[in-house]
Structure 1
Amino acid sequence: MSLPIFKENERFNQQGRVVPQYLAVVLATMSALSGGTYLGWTSPALPLLREDDHLDINDGVGSWIGSLTPLGALIGALPAGYLADKVGRKRAILIITLPLLFCWYLVGFTHNLVWILLGRALAGTSIGASSVTVPMYVYEISEANIRGKLGTFFQLQLTIGILFVYLTGFTQNYAYIALICALIPALVLITLPFMPESPVWLMNQNRREDAKAALQYFRGKRYSVEKELSELQLIKDSQEDAASIMDLKNHVKAMIIALGLSIFQQLSGINAVIFYSQTIFAAAETNISSILCSVIIGIVQVVATCGSSFFIDHAGRKVLLLLSSTVMAACLFVLSAYFHFQTVLSSLFWVPLVSLTVLVIVFSLGFGPIPWLIVGELFPSNVKGTAGSVAAATNWSLAFMVTKFFPTMMNNVGIAGSFVIFAFVCVAGTIFISTVVPETKGKSLEEVQNELYGIREEPITQVKIQS
């Protein structure tokens, strides 16, 4: 389940064609785009479901409709690496995409609460599994010099999916929303089979000629793949057995960092903002349509995520994490103050939109992509898969908690109190990052291990970390 580490060498005296790699990555990460539509669906659809005479949707039921997707993702993330190892990365993505297509029928056309809940949970398992398998495929087909950029596509497609489903809210019909969103997984199932399998997986299955053919497709006919193929063979021959969960006790510091970042990422309240954006804007009583406000937030998130790869390459991980947590805390304090003094500040109706816009921008630059990225930079190759599954499971379990209990928080402590709690979490995150998290930009795996543990561990190959 572990991902390979390639040399960042002198780069083979040539560069492969990037178009086939970009095409394959775009098609594979469309499953993340589909996942984004499910994650953002509650914002436009939940108000419409409440108006359906066939359904009885109160706040408690609504919170379950929203939260069952991240709960399903928690379950789906755990076996995903095993599935990808058994059947291949591409085939695993196709298997995972099937429920993403079918569940839109359950969610949009059954008019039955039980089936809607089941569809949300089942779609969640696919989203959780795709959060493990899709990055594996992307990493393993990408040339080292563009791997960092391609690695941001999963998060980018997720945000595009959220924006896409926000836009479908203008239909004011949740059946139309489901029908439109179902086109995305259908497109994945039609197009992705024409892409080759991961050459890394093929080599691990002793299918050297198939691995060579896959590399030749991704790099171009005029590219000599022999050296890269030899590296894959060397990595396969020297690969240690994949670590078990019990083996993670040998990487305590790295696990504290990985899990800590996941905790602060989710408890910052970002999923409360994404899942319930229309509800928040409606409560703010702005003079702007709540649907339009949600779409603006979605557009901002996509644009900020597009720029994240550039800033991650140039500014470094720790700096962006500190910027993200600090500015998010400030935005959340401002939001809390606005809702607390809403009757007095009614003329400042633009404050919620501006605050949430800035919050989403800095989240997309730091706390959004970096906790996922940094797992691959803290652990040796044979540990990445196990550590990644544990981190993903932690992430999705906290996403479930926030999504499930945010409506309850609003009822018990008010929307102002909820935002101030999230703000203090971000303050704690700033302290954690400044004192515990190392800077990994431009450092080899050996250098990171030495900084964490004060010892020199010998990774399989020396590599400068790609973002």
Structure 2
Amino acid sequence: MGFIFQPLGSVFSGLVSEPLGRKKAMILVNIPHIIAWTMLYFTSSLEEIYIAAVLLGLGVGFMEAPIITYVGEISQASIRGILTSCAGIAAMLGLFTVFLLGSIMTWREVALICLSVPLTTVIAICFVPETPMWLLSKNRPDDALKSLQWLRGWVPAKNVEKEFAEMQRYNVYSSSCGSCQKSKSVCEHPAPTFLQKLKELLRKRNLKPFVLALMCFAISQFFGITPIRPYMVQIFTIYGLPIDANWATTIIALLGMLANVVCTCIIKVTGKRKLWMVSMTGASLSCLALGTYAYNFIPAEWSSFDKHEPIAVEGNVNYIPMILFFTLAFFSSVGLSPIPWILLSEVFPFKSRAFATGITAAINYIFAFISVKTYLNFETWFSLYGIMWYYGIGGVCGLFFMYKFLPETENRTLEDIELYFTDSKRKWTDIKIVKQISKETNNRDGNSVTGCDNKAFVQNSH
């Protein structure tokens, strides 16, 4: 129920993030969580638990667009990947904490502890500024400059004047009206409708990153650890892991959190593309090996949903699937899970970033719902070893697809990335030339980058 209601929250978040701003939207996303955790603590019926699950699903979907957009817009290009991957660490830390608390206390007490998180978050967000890019799009340059000074360490204005000038120039292009090429803050055209925003996604500069992000999410949801996560206790039991299945899930969550920390530490060095390839390779090989183990040691007619005694094997052979499940969890979390969210924070143009992020996150949650909901059917059809081989082979296919189409965006500015996706034949070296031409045009014509009718830059950029 949580998965299927997350897409609704994602779509809604994309609609409110632009008019309200990233900061206010990040505060609002905590309201469903506060209500849901309070309901779970005081619940006295199954229906109330269902309602709480729906609210939690809406809340998780609601938070994606404003948080990812906020982090993407406040970060410098050199550390954007690092900061965005911190969201994955937080998510895995949450899973680990809840699994651990659920092993030592009642679920009502766990719900009460979880309630403290959104309450603390609301207070904390009140002390951070709105993103400079959003403030510039609303024709508030003074507030945008103050925000940038705060974000770069309370520095004087002269320390950020170069970066601020780049933001102003990018704002002219990215937030200009498609009809008059003027800034959205001063043009007289009405705001785009929901259907117009959907139509905007079909433009090349939106469609290419949209398809790429969806493929990343599809591969992550259908061929990583996500499909088996809700059934890990049953699966670990039938594989005969030498430790208690409930504690094995806690270790899985801990490994996922550590993998996200590793991702944060090395992504600046390896880049997103190489890290994705290594992660996908490790996860695929782990699934293929788990399928081979099940083929040799678990009867084909057995299901993880039936009551069976674990197979007695000689020696320490049952340590093999335990290690393989741990490696699957690690490789899935080191790149396969976090990198799609990192890409989501940077591949879309500013004009449609919030809406496109919300729509993409919504479709991702639909993928997650389908992958989790259909696991039982696939295991029934293919048997336990067949489903693992299916995940492994699918992962290999996804590896080859991403090898061909996934660009390296690490240490690229948002403007560079937007220009890259605008023209399929444009290389990263060509983007530097385009930006230089636009600067020279501005200087030659005497146009200020802060003007709202800077057609020369828009035309040259296109």
TM-score by length of 1: 0.76
| Identical-pair percentage | 26
Match of 2:417 among 445, 456, 459: 445
What CA distance in whole angstroms lies between the structure 2 residues aligned with 1:356 and 1:281?
Answer: 9
Does the alignment pair 1:330 with 2:267?
no
**Structure 1 pair 220–435 and aligned structure 2 pair: CA distance change class (3 A):** closer
Contact 1:321 1:366 in 2 (8 A): yes
- Matching residue's letter, 1:426: G
Contact 2:10 2:65 in 1 (8 A): yes
Equivalenced residue count is 396
- Matching residue's letter, 2:269: H
* 1:162-201 correspondence to structure 2 within 5 Å: 162-201=95-134
Give, in angstroms, the shift of residue 137 of structure 1: 1.6
What CA distance in whole angstroms lies between the structure 1 residues aligned with 2:403 and 2:251?
Answer: 32
Does the alignment pair 1:430 with 2:399?
yes
Q: Report the counterpart of residue 265 of structure 1 in structure 2.
A: 220
- Matching residue's letter, 2:202: K
What CA distance in whole angstroms lies between the structure 2 residues aligned with 1:278 and 1:430?
Answer: 28
Give, in angstroms, the shift of residue 248 of structure 1: 3.2
Q: Report the counterpart of residue 281 of structure 1 in structure 2.
A: 236
Unaligned runs of 5+ in 2: 178-191, 299-310, 437-462
TM-score by length of 2: 0.76
Does the alignment pair 1:236 with 2:171?
yes
What CA distance in whole angstroms lies between the structure 2 residues aligned with 1:392 and 1:109?
Answer: 31
**Structure 1 pair 322–143 and aligned structure 2 pair: CA distance change class (3 A):** closer
What CA distance in whole angstroms lies between the structure 2 residues aligned with 1:458 and 1:107?
Answer: 54
Q: Report the counterpart of residue 199 of structure 2 in structure 1.
A: 246
What CA distance in whole angstroms lies between the structure 1 residues aligned with 2:238 and 2:145?
Answer: 57
Does the alignment pair 1:402 with 2:375?
no
- Matching residue's letter, 2:169: L
**Structure 1 pair 73–461 and aligned structure 2 pair: CA distance change class (3 A):** farther
- Matching residue's letter, 2:283: M
Q: Report the counterpart of residue 58 of structure 2 in structure 1.
A: 125
**Structure 1 pair 205–290 and aligned structure 2 pair: CA distance change class (3 A):** same
Secondary structure of the residue aligned to 2:387 is helix
Contact 1:449 1:457 in 2 (8 A): no
What CA distance in whole angstroms lies between the structure 1 residues aligned with 2:411 and 2:80?
Answer: 14
What CA distance in whole angstroms lies between the structure 2 residues aligned with 1:454 and 1:145?
Answer: 22
Match of 2:351 among 376, 382, 394: 382
**Structure 1 pair 254–141 and aligned structure 2 pair: CA distance change class (3 A):** closer
What CA distance in whole angstroms lies between the structure 1 residues aligned with 2:358 and 2:20?
Answer: 18
Unaligned runs of 5+ in 1: 1-67, 463-467
After superposition, give the CA deviation of every residue in 1:23-73 in whole Å (9 maximum; x if it has no partner): xxxxxxxxxxxxxxxxxxxxxxxxxxxxxxxxxxxxxxxxxxxxx212121
Give, in angstroms, the shift of residue 221 of structure 1: 3.8
Contact 1:301 1:361 in 2 (8 A): yes
**Structure 1 pair 299–141 and aligned structure 2 pair: CA distance change class (3 A):** same
Q: Report the counterpart of residue 334 of structure 2 in structure 1.
A: 365
Give, in angstroms, the shift of residue 126 of structure 1: 1.4
Contact 2:98 2:110 in 1 (8 A): yes
What CA distance in whole angstroms lies between the structure 1 residues aligned with 2:41 and 2:64?
Answer: 24
Q: Report the counterpart of residue 262 of structure 2 in structure 1.
A: 307
**Structure 1 pair 322–234 and aligned structure 2 pair: CA distance change class (3 A):** closer
What CA distance in whole angstroms lies between the structure 2 residues aligned with 1:326 and 1:87?
Answer: 41
Give, in angstroms, the shift of residue 246 of structure 1: 2.1
Match of 1:100 among 6, 12, 33: 33
CA RMSD of aligned residues (A): 3.0
Give, in angstroms, the shift of residue 458 of structure 1: 9.5
What CA distance in whole angstroms lies between the structure 2 residues aligned with 1:244 and 1:384?
Answer: 11
What CA distance in whole angstroms lies between the structure 1 residues aligned with 2:347 and 2:81?
Answer: 16
Contact 1:301 1:360 in 2 (8 A): yes
Give, in angstroms, the shift of residue 102 of structure 1: 1.5
Contact 2:346 2:417 in 1 (8 A): yes
The structure with more radius of gyration? 2
After superposition, give the CA deviation of every residue in 1:297-339 in whole Å (9 maximum; x if it has no partner): 1111111111113432222333322222222121112222333
Q: Report the counterpart of residue 322 of structure 2 in structure 1.
A: 353
Contact 2:348 2:418 in 1 (8 A): no
Give, in angstroms, the shift of residue 230 of structure 1: 4.0
Match of 1:146 among 54, 58, 79: 79
- Matching residue's letter, 1:445: I
- Matching residue's letter, 1:201: W
What CA distance in whole angstroms lies between the structure 2 residues aligned with 1:138 and 1:350?
Answer: 41
**Structure 1 pair 192–299 and aligned structure 2 pair: CA distance change class (3 A):** same
What CA distance in whole angstroms lies between the structure 1 residues aligned with 2:73 and 2:405?
Answer: 30
Q: Report the counterpart of residue 91 of structure 2 in structure 1.
A: 158
Does the alignment pair 1:316 with 2:316?
no
**Structure 1 pair 250–301 and aligned structure 2 pair: CA distance change class (3 A):** same
**Structure 1 pair 421–344 and aligned structure 2 pair: CA distance change class (3 A):** farther
Give, in angstroms, the shift of residue 171 of structure 1: 2.2
Q: Report the counterpart of residue 445 of structure 2 in structure 1.
A: none
